[in-house]
Chain A
Amino acid sequence: MKKTVLFFAIIALIGTEVAGQKYFTRSGHIWFYSEAPMENIEAHNYQSSSILDTETGELGFTLLIKGFEFEKALMQEHFNEKYFHSDKIPKSTFEGKILNLSDIDFKNPGVYNAKVSGTINIHGIAKEVETMGTFEVKDDGKIHSNSKFQVALADHDVKIPDMLKDNIAKIVDVNVEIIYEKLDK
């Protein structure tokens, strides 16, 4: 009995000291593409933050709507002022988990396919999503991650006026390109 308790005591105390393996970036590249009869629109955000816990498979993203850069400055202004109301809802986030964590060996260099599910919050409205992506573990210890999924603007209460229905797609392609580095804490 005494030995068992001592054994568990040691395990418990050690357990609380070992931090999860966390990977991090502040310069994640997230961009979207809208294809419509009158014009195609794309915008790039080079400053999204993301964190990956390779131990638990938890994944988080956050970005500023104002961080999206458009070719046309006026379009960027309308995107913020009229459609996404970024002064009231400045951020968009994703919080989720890798479902097939056991298929991925983050310690061994290689390319791994992942299935991720979680909650995406755009324009203040949250939605459950599931998507595929890849994690490429590099020799230098960094993890490159890519994913692609679709967002229906109406799902997040983004209203497009009738006049512009041929300029802005109802469903937009979102691409994610991240290079994670180990977080030293």
Chain B
Amino acid sequence: MFFKWLLSIVLIFVSGSYLYSQSILDLLDEEERTDYTIATFKTTRLINGHSIETNAGGVLLFLIQHRFGRLNGGAYEFFGLDNSTTRLALEYGITDNLDIGIGRSTFEKTMDGFLKYKLLRQSTGKKNMPLTLTLFTGIAVKTLRWQQPNRTNYFSSKLYYTFQVLAARKISTNFSIQLSPTLIHRNLVAVKEDKNDVFAVGIGGRYKLSGSFSINAEYFYVFPNQIVSEINGEKVHNSLSVGVDIETGGHVFQLHLTNSRGMIEKFFVTETTGSWANGDIHFGFNISRVFTIVDKTKKKLEEEKEKRENG
């Protein structure tokens, strides 16, 4: 009796070990990692405004921007192409999360500089973060000569400051949106009723149609009763832009239509005089090219080699 029982136990054990065959990969139990979102946008600009993207550490970005005249200038003005304004800029990734940049616009001979710091990164897995948050601070100096040199002019009148808290979410592989609360401080304004501190909020997004091509849109809403004066007899409007991104190897070409003439925050947020309804639309483009200045992988390869030889 006992042995019949023992025989059945043996048979159960022996058959049991043949019943479940596991893949050896199942034994590699998963260590939970944090998966950081990459490529929320193709480059550091959405259209006019900055995106949350910063350059990788050791990478230099060269940016050429053009905005032409108004399309409603007609054939004589060659639909604005005869009248272009340019900005040249360099942006450098000090680390993967900190960018420093410098630029110069032909428009009012303005120099600008900025710092951009990626505070939070969107991620899933071990660390869950729903969005990427980048802080932006910039300064612009209008270097045009004084219109009335005999007046008491202050250098500080030429200065403009920008502060932004950029927040974006990559919703899917193809779709990302961003919110850009902005504060522009002007030391000098035209009339008393104009506010020195102008608050605005930008909203924009991109939709990827292929690996290399996306459509982008951007709108900056300036809260009411902050800018009263007109510029050259025209009221100030909110900036609205639509465009496409075309990426090839190391270049990103951004082509767009916008009602803003200027390419830095103080221009397109607080000094946009074009109105889409009137056809005051400017064709423009940004071309960026990245260069790897510091190769971090060489150092790591050597470190890992040493670890291997000693381990």
Give residues in A with beta carbon < 8 Å to B.
1-2, 5-6, 8-9, 12-13, 15-16, 22, 24, 26, 29, 44, 46, 49-51, 53, 58-60, 62, 64, 66, 69-74, 77, 80-82, 85, 87-88, 90, 93, 95, 142, 163-164, 167, 177, 179
CA distance A142 to B17 in the complex (A): 29
Cβ of B27 within 8 Å of any chain A Cβ, yes or no, is yes
CA distance A80 to B170 in the complex (A): 15
B38 near A64 with CB under 8 A, answer no
A59 near B14 with CB under 8 A, answer no
Cβ of B20 within 8 Å of any chain A Cβ, yes or no, is no
A81 near B59 with CB under 8 A, answer no
Note all chain B residues with C-beta closer than 8 A to A71. 292, 295, 297-298
Note all chain A residues with C-beta closer than 8 A to B10. 5, 8-9, 12-13
CA distance A72 to B57 in the complex (A): 10
Cβ of B75 within 8 Å of any chain A Cβ, yes or no, is no
Minimum CB–CB distance for A10 against chain B, Å: 9
Note all chain B residues with C-beta closer than 8 A to A1. 3
Given A5-B7, A60-B24, A177 and B212 contact (CB-CB distance below 8 Å): no
Note all chain A residues with C-beta closer than 8 A to B300. 44, 46, 69
Q: Which of B13, B14, B27, B56 contacts A22 (CB 8 A)?
A: B27
Minimum CB–CB distance for B171 against chain A, Å: 12
Given A2-B3, A5-B10, A88-B173, A81 and B38 contact (CB-CB distance below 8 Å): yes
B24 near A51 with CB under 8 A, answer yes
CA distance A15 to B301 in the complex (A): 44
Count residues of chain B with CB under 8 A from any CB of chain A: 39
Across chains A and B, which 4 residue pairs bring their CB atoms closest together, nearest first?
A: A73-B56, A82-B211, A60-B24, A58-B24
Note all chain B residues with C-beta closer than 8 A to A93. 25
Cβ of B23 within 8 Å of any chain A Cβ, yes or no, is yes
Give residues in B with beta carbon < 8 Å to A.
3, 6-7, 9-10, 13-14, 16-17, 23-25, 27-28, 31, 33, 35, 38-39, 55-57, 59, 173, 211-212, 248-250, 290, 292, 295, 297-298, 300-301, 304, 308, 311
Given A8-B10, A29-B304, A51 and B39 contact (CB-CB distance below 8 Å): no
Q: Which of B3, B27, B173, B248 contacts A5 (CB 8 A)?
A: B3
B27 near A60 with CB under 8 A, answer yes
* Residue with the greatest number of chain A CB neighbours at <10 A, chosen from B13, B28, B249: B28
B23 near A60 with CB under 8 A, answer yes
A179 near B311 with CB under 8 A, answer yes
B9 near A60 with CB under 8 A, answer no
CA distance A128 to B78 in the complex (A): 62
Apart from A51-B24, A62-B25, A74-B290: 12 A-B pairs, beta carbons within 8 A: A2-B3, A6-B6, A9-B9, A44-B304, A59-B24, A66-B38, A73-B56, A73-B57, A74-B59, A80-B39, A82-B212, A179-B308
Note all chain B residues with C-beta closer than 8 A to A167. 249
Note all chain B residues with C-beta closer than 8 A to A5. 3, 6-7, 10
B297 near A44 with CB under 8 A, answer yes
Q: Which of A9, A16, A58, A87 contacts B17 (CB 8 A)?
A: A16
Note all chain A residues with C-beta closer than 8 A to B297. 44, 69-71
B173 near A73 with CB under 8 A, answer no
CA distance A67 to B109 in the complex (A): 45
Note all chain B residues with C-beta closer than 8 A to A16. 13, 16-17
27 interchain pairs (CB within 8 A)? A5-B3, A9-B9, A13-B10, A15-B17, A16-B16, A24-B28, A29-B304, A44-B304, A46-B300, A49-B28, A51-B24, A51-B25, A58-B24, A60-B24, A60-B25, A62-B25, A69-B297, A70-B297, A73-B290, A73-B292, A77-B38, A80-B39, A85-B173, A95-B24, A163-B249, A167-B249, A179-B311
